[in-house]
């Protein structure tokens, strides 16, 4: 007790608490430049490249959403393809009723969020592993249900009406810009959510669920919120998929391979970091393009790498970068500076700071550094 | 009369689903591992059976004599290496690793074998034959055999877990791992044994499915894992006989669904699953999970 009081007194004098270990303004400016350059891409590269990048955007969005669930809320869903499919079908149905396919995207995303609420009510009755398979069953059920309607293509699928009026190059450029906008929006949303109250609640749950509950953290509500946000994100990604493919087929949008892709990208890039899914999506796209001509090989290799990373480097590639360079593009935790430390040295590493204020303690990272010890 | 036939067929198919579910239930009950690669491992069992039959020309029904030990050894090795390593790192990592394994197995089968469908024992009189009861009811010998195997496996498991020395060790470890360790039990070895038994039932499930229907690399996740899971949840987590009941309910629901509309077979099964999940999440058997 005395230690805590001591620290709080001293912190007024010497200790500084910042969000990041480095200046955030630079990373913010860097991110802005990257987005502006990416926005100019349709003017400088061929449309083949931009449509490839739309695929990349889709993986980034999906991986960020999956990371929000698995990395921060401890929810392993194997049924996110339910929302990808629903998003794609919402766009198709709206386009059939002569709404522009681009206008259909936000409606599709919100629709998926609404659909996620009753689904959460069902699957949240089961824990961890059984929750995972329940989401999978739910996704399959949604697919089988949608296949019953011949007016939206039944079991074979249907091409997207309303897109034929556009010039092909322009269509790809529009899709690209919308993809970029959705990606930025998804990342900003995840960042703001984790920076705020929800991030703290999720960290508390991760560290000790029982203690979090008894301190008044609304565990169920926090998890539901994450599930719904992830559904909105995956729905938007599904709508984007429909726009980029211009055809919606139940077998292609509801396949569990989507979950495999988002999970592998997240695990390899770094589970429980916001930067990880972006890095993982890049790794994924590079591998997929390199091994394109070898059929299933890229999923075999990705799967094996993901298993190894999950076992031996659980914070993934970004974790390795962060440990060495202390870079966080999206700082969601806090960093405690020792008195008189002008620049490089934070106090957290030396472990003098009481538990709970050290950066390891309260930064809402998905995975605790302690081995084992998690009870649910 | 048609309905009676559907219900009888559904009950018999339920035996197959209970067989699917045995391994999943056992691995969860003992190790708290939800093995997302469960279905793909059953498909591997079916492919091994196919290979064994092609090479050695043993009768299909006896192929299990070779396949079951192979899968049991695979189960022990996989548990002692990969799954134990994942378990040491927590529930989340275990799920991620088994999911990775599932995707790797499925795509490796696609890559190294092919996407074609295969089946076991085409033309065998026992496997394709059936007998009639009355004018409308036809009962396939195979389904009857599979149901009997499922009951024998469940009885065997119950006897093994309650009566034998290893069974007691497995229950001890499942109840309290640390206390069991203090009493001198090597829990890793016991986990290995439990996994070996689970994989043996997985091998039986794979062979049974291969004889009952056609299998391909994607069958493992599309069908076996999801049906096994639905049977476990409908019956009640952690209850052996509940699993059989769950399988039977799922089978009957599917048959009735198929009777209403041929394409609604699977949808009907999943809807019953979702209704049970909504109204009775602890499963139909009142006994809750032991843990």
Domain map of chain A by residue range?
20-332
Per-residue pLDDT at A176: 94
- The answer to whether B256 and B268 are in contact (CB under 8 A) is yes
Identify the segments of chain A with pLDDT beneath 70.
1-14, 19-24, 338-376
Chain B residues with beta carbon closer than 8 angstroms to that of A69: none
Per-residue pLDDT at B44: 95
Per-residue pLDDT at B11: 94
Q: Is A267 on the interface with B (CB under 8 A)?
A: yes
Q: How many CB atoms lie within 10 A of CB A269?
A: 28
Chain B residues with beta carbon closer than 8 angstroms to that of A138: 274
A141–B82 CB contact, under 8 Å: no
Chain A residues with beta carbon closer than 8 angstroms to that of B270: 137, 140-141, 144
Tens digit of each residue's pLDDT (9 = 90 or more) over B178-208: 899 898 889 999 999 999 999 999 999 999 9
Could you tell me which of B148, B149, B156, B145 has the C-alpha nearest to residue B26? B156
**Which one of A67, A80, A133, A261 would you mutate to disrupt binding with B, by most B Cβ within 10 Å of its Cβ?**
A133
Q: How many CB atoms lie within 10 A of CB A164?
A: 10
Tens digit of each residue's pLDDT (9 = 90 or more) over B147-156: 999 999 999 9
Which residue from A128, A264, A311 is facing B91, i.e. has the nearest CB?
A128
- Closest residue in A to B104 (Cα) is A300
> What is the set of domains in chain B, with CATH numbers?
2-279 (1.10.3470)
Averaged pLDDT for residues B235-250: 87
Q: Is A291 on the interface with B (CB under 8 A)?
A: no
Distance from CA of B59 to the nearest CA of A (A): 33
Chain A residues with beta carbon closer than 8 angstroms to that of B36: 78, 129, 132-133
DSSP string, A207-259: H-HHHHHHTT--HHHHHHHHHHHHHHHHHHHHHHHHHHHSEE-HHHHS-THHH
Per-residue pLDDT at A22: 62
* Mean of pLDDT over chain B: 89
Per-residue pLDDT at A167: 81
Averaged pLDDT for residues B158-184: 90
Strand boundaries in A234-343, DSSP class E? 247-248, 335-337
CATH architecture of residue range(s) A20-332: Orthogonal Bundle (1.10)
Per-residue pLDDT at A367: 42
Per-residue pLDDT at B77: 96
Whole-number Å distance between alpha carbons of A65 and A60: 9
Chain A residues with beta carbon closer than 8 angstroms to that of B28: 129-130
Whole-number Å distance between alpha carbons of A176 and A100: 16
Per-residue pLDDT at A339: 67
Distance from CA of B108 to the nearest CA of A (A): 6
- Closest residue in A to B25 (Cα) is A130
Could you tell me which of B111, B107, B113, B9 has the C-alpha nearest to residue B51? B113
Averaged pLDDT for residues B70-97: 93
Q: Which distant-in-sequence residues (6+ apart) come within 8 Å of A95 by Cβ?
A: A101, A104, A160, A161, A162, A163
Averaged pLDDT for residues B149-173: 92
Q: How confident is the model at residue B32 (pLDDT cuts 50, 70, 90)?
A: confident
Q: Which distant-in-sequence residues (6+ apart) come within 8 Å of B50 by Cβ?
A: B118, B120, B210
Tokens of A110: 């919100």
Distance from CA of A312 to the nearest CA of B (A): 10
């Amino acid at each position: 007790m005395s230690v805590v009081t001591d620290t709080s007194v001293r912190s007024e004098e010497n200790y500084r608490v910042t969000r990041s270990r480095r200046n955030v303004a630079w990373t913010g400016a860097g991110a802005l430049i990257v987005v502006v350059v990416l926005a100019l891409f349709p003017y400088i590269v061929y449309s083949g490249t931009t449509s490839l990048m739309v695929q990349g955007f889709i993986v980034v969005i999906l991986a960020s959403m999956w990371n929000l669930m698995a990395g921060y809320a401890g929810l392993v869903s194997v049924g996110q393809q339910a929302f990808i499919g629903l998003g794609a079908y919402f766009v198709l149905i709206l386009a059939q009723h002569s709404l522009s396919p681009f206008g259909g995207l936000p409606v599709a995303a919100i629709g998926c969020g609404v659909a996620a609420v009753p689904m959460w009510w069902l699957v949240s009755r089961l824990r961890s592993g059984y929750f995972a398979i329940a989401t999978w069953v739910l996704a399959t059920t949604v697919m089988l249900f949608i296949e019953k309607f011949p007016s939206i293509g039944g079991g074979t699928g249907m091409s997207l009406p309303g897109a034929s009026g556009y010039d092909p190059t322009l269509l790809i450029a529009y899709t690209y810009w919308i993809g970029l906008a959705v990606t930025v929006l998804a990342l900003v949303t995840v960042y703001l959510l984790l920076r705020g109250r929800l991030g703290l609640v999720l960290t508390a749950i991760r560290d000790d669920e029982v203690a979090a509950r008894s301190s008044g953290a609304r565990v169920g509500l926090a998890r539901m919120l994450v599930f719904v946000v992830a559904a909105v994100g995956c729905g938007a990604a599904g709508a984007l998929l429909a726009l980029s493919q211009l055809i919606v087929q139940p077998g292609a949008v509801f396949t569990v391979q989507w979950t495999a892709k988002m999970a592998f990208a997240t695990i390899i890039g770094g589970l429980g970091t916001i930067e990880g899914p972006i890095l993982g999506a890049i790794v994924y796209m590079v591998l997929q393009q390199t091994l394109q001509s070898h059929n299933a090989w890229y999923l075999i290799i990705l799967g094996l790498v993901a298993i190894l990373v999950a076992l031996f480097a659980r914070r993934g590639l970004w974790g390795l970068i962060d440990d060495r360079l202390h870079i966080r593009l999206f700082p969601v935790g806090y960093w405690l500076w020792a008195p008189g430390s002008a620049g490089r040295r934070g106090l957290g590493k030396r472990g003098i700071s009481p538990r709970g204020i050290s950066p390891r303690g309260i930064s809402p990272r998905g995975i605790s550094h302690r081995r084992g010890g998690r009870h649910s | 009369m048609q309905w009676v036939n559907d219900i009888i067929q559904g009950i018999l198919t339920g035996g197959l689903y209970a067989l699917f579910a045995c391994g999943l239930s056992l691995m969860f009950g003992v190790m708290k591992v939800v093995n997302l690669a469960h279905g793909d491992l059953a498909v591997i069992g079916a492919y091994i059976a196919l290979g064994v039959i092609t090479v050695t020309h043993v009768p299909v029904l006896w192929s299990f004599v070779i396949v079951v030990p192979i899968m049991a050894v695979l189960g022990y090795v996989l548990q002692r290496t990969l799954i134990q390593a994942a378990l040491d790192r927590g529930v989340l990592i275990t799920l991620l690793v088994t999911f990775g394994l599932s995707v790797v197995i499925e795509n490796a089968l696609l890559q190294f074998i092919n996407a074609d469908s295969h089946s076991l024992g085409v033309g065998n009189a026992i496997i394709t034959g059936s007998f009639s009861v009355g004018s409308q009811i036809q009962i396939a010998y195979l389904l009857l055999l599979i149901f009997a195997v499922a009951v024998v496996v469940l009885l065997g498991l119950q006897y093994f877990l309650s009566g034998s020395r290893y069974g007691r060790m497995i229950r001890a470890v499942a109840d309290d791992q640390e206390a069991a360790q203090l009493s001198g039990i090597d829990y890793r070895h016991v986990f290995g044994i439990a996994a070996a038994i689970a994989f043996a039932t997985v091998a039986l499930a794979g062979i049974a499915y291969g004889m009952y229907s056609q299998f391909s690399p994607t069958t493992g996740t599309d069908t076996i894992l999801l049906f096994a899971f639905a049977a476990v949840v409908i019956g009640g987590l952690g209850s052996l006989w509940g699993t059989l009941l769950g399988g039977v309910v799922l089978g009957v629901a599917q048959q009735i669904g198929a009777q209403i509309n041929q394409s609604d077979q699977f949808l009907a099964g999943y809807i019953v699953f979702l209704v049970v999940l909504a109204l009775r999440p602890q499963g139909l058997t009142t006994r809750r999970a032991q843990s």
